[in-house]
Structure 1
Amino acid sequence: MAGLIPFNRRHGRLMNRGFEDFYNRVDDLLNEGFAYGENLIRGNFKMDIQKKDHEYLIEAELPGVKKEEVNLELEDGRLTISVKREENINEEGKNYIHKETRSSSMSRSVYLQDAQQEGVKAKLDNGILSITIPREEKPNCTKRIDIQ
Structure 2
Amino acid sequence: MFELTPYSRSRMLPGSWLRDFFTDDFFGGLSTIKADIFAEGDNLVIEAELPGFNKDDVKVKVNDKQLTISAQRKDANEERSEDYIRRERSVSQVCRTFIVENLDADQIQAKFENGLLRLTMPKPQELQPKVKEIHIK
Q: What TM-score do you get using the length of structure 2 for normalisation?
A: 0.64
Q: Which amino acid aligns with 2:46?
A: I
Specify every segment of 5 or more residues in structure 2 that has no aligned partner in the other structure, as ranges. 1-10, 130-137
Relative to 1, partners in 2 of residues 1:92 and 1:21: Cα closer, same or farther, differing over 3 Å?
same
Aligned equivalent of 1:107: 95
Specify every segment of 5 or more residues in structure 1 that has no aligned partner in the other structure, as ranges. 1-15, 31-38, 141-148
Is the aligned partner of 1:21 residue 2:9?
Answer: no
Q: Higher relative contact order by CA 8 Å / sep ≥ 6: 1 or 2?
A: 2
- Give the SS at the match of 2:107: coil
- Give the SS at the match of 2:56: helix
How many Å apart are 1:22 and its aligned residue? 5.2
1:122-137 matches, within 5 Å, as: 122-137=110-125
- Give the SS at the match of 1:64: coil
CA distance in 1, matches of 2:21, 2:99: 37
CA-atom RMSD in angstroms:
3.8
Is the CA contact 2:68–2:98 (under 8 Å) kept in the aligned structure 1? yes
Q: Which amino acid aligns with 1:65?
A: F
How many Å apart are 1:26 and its aligned residue? 9.9
Q: What TM-score do you get using the length of structure 1 for normalisation?
A: 0.60
In structure 2, which of residues 48, 56, 66 is the aligned counterpart of residue 78 of structure 1? 66
In structure 2, which of residues 26, 32, 35 is the aligned counterpart of residue 47 of structure 1? 35
The percent of aligned pairs where both chains have the same amino acid is 27
CA distance in 2, matches of 1:21, 1:54: 51
